[in-house]
Structures are given as structure tokens and as C-alpha cells.
Amino acid sequence: MSVTTKPTSKASTILSGRSTDDRGLRDRPRRAGQLALAGLLIAGSAVASAVLINRAGDTQQVLAARSSIAKGHTIARGDLVTKDVAGITDTFNINAAASLVGTTAVVDLVPGQVLTASMVSKTPSPGRGESIVGLNLDPSRVPSAGLDPGDTVAVIAVTGGDVGASSEEIDAPPVLASNARVFDVQGSATEGGGVLVTLVVQDSAAARIAAYSTAQRIAIVETASDPDGDASP
């Protein structure tokens, strides 16, 4: 008498007395890979969060303009607000408000603009005994590297380009102001056209400089600043 056994419909393994589908065993490597990926994502998020926290820690509270401040305005405490920034140098921290009050803005400031050392001057413009004079200069008579507010320049009387100019006028041109201070610049020597330069000069030199400027007979040369800081004639 023969006995016929019926094949099982799927492979099974007897574990702890129970039948286990081998597909579960095949799924384990895939689940392990998913768990590893999840771990990497969590670790990456932790690193990104740490970077953001570190960057936030680099911010500092500095002083900024509360509202629009015109060039030449004397800064008061009410003109200032604090602002959190990062990556800006030469700023004034919140403890420097006293040293900033009383300085003069050398550029126009917009609301919320962070103040830096180059934007203000401790010397009022114009100060006592000083005048402000504007020049419209040919680009060849201005340093091609450009000028910035606060720079010190010498104002030179040059010839008008006449054929009959004497050698004395060329070899020893008159110096109209040896320590003038740049207050504002519009345009540049590399852009073409005239360069508008506003200078702070001594009262005694202002009229003469204006007259030479009208005759188109002025050039300016950037010089080292005078320790005394006055716009000497």
C-alpha cells in the first residue's frame, strides 16, 4: 500500500514549533537598510541644526539708524536703534552709543542701516572756521582709484592748457589747500564725464578755490591726513 504526500504550497521552516514564511527572512535586509537610512537622516538633521545654532550665535547687537539721516546731520541718541547682525565689520556695538552720539554723518543713511566707522566723523562738517565748496572736475584731475568721504586731499591750481603757460606755472603750481577734507563724491574718473567733489576747506581758501573751479583750473591730489585734522589752506 502506497502513501502519497501532498506537496506543501510554500516553503516553510519549523522554528519553535511554528511554521515561518521565508519571505519574512528575505525582507529583513531591506528593513535593515531602511533603518540605516533613517538613522543617517536623523544624524544629518542634527548636524544641520547644530550649524544653524552656531551661526545664530555669531550674531551681535549693533547700532543702526532709526530713520533717515541726512549727510551732515549730528547724530543724537534718538537717531539710534539696535539691530542683530552677523558678518559686518567696523560696527558700533550697543555699548558704544555714547561715543557715537555727537558725531556727524558723512553719508546719507536709510532707516535700519547698520552704522559703521566710515559713515560718521567726529569732526562736524563744516566746523568753526570752515566752508564747504563744490567742484566739477575733469576725470583726469581726480585720482583714478577714486575718493571717499573723509579722505584728505590737496587742491592744486593748474594751468588752463593754454599754449602760453609759463614754466613756473607748470613746475610750481599754487597749492590752494593742502589739507582739504572730502565730504562727498558723485561719479568717478573711470565712468567718464565730470566728477563732482564736495570739499571741506578753511574759510580763507574757499572763495579762491571756488574761483579757480569756475575757470576749470583745479586738480586734487590725495594725501596723508594731517594729525590735527583741520582743512588747512
* Phi, psi of 64, rounded to the nearest 5 degrees: -135, 170
| Among the ranges given (63-67, 106-110, 187-191, 228-232), the one the predictor scored with the smallest mean pLDDT | 228-232
Are 79 and 67 in contact by the 8 Å Cβ rule? The answer is yes
24-53 pLDDT, tens per residue?
545 555 666 666 666 666 766 666 665 555
pLDDT at residue 197 tops 80 = yes
Strand 152-157 to 130-137 pairing:
unpaired
In this prediction, residue 39 carries a pLDDT of 63
Rounded alpha-carbon distances, angstroms, from residue 210 to 134, 172, 187, 215: 8, 20, 20, 9
132-163 pLDDT, tens per residue?
999 999 888 998 888 888 889 999 998 876 55
Peptide bond into 126 cis (omega under 30): yes
Tell me what percent of the residues of the chain surpass a pLDDT of 70: 67
Residues in contact with 178: Cβ distance below 8 Å, sequence separation at least 6, in sequence order: 154, 223, 232, 233
CA-to-CA distance for 207 and 91, rounded, in angstroms? Answer: 38
Q: What is the mean pLDDT of the chain?
A: 78
Average pLDDT over residues 168-188: 85
In this prediction, residue 229 carries a pLDDT of 52
Domain residue ranges in the chain? 60-121, 130-223
Q: Which amino acid is at 84?
A: D
| Among the ranges given (69-78, 163-172, 181-190), the one the predictor scored with the smallest mean pLDDT | 163-172
Is the domain 60-121 a CATH 3.90.1210.10 member?
Answer: yes
CA-to-CA distance for 95 and 102, rounded, in angstroms? Answer: 15
In this prediction, residue 11 carries a pLDDT of 47
Task: Select the more confidently predicted residue: 206 or 73.
Answer: 206
In this prediction, residue 146 carries a pLDDT of 85
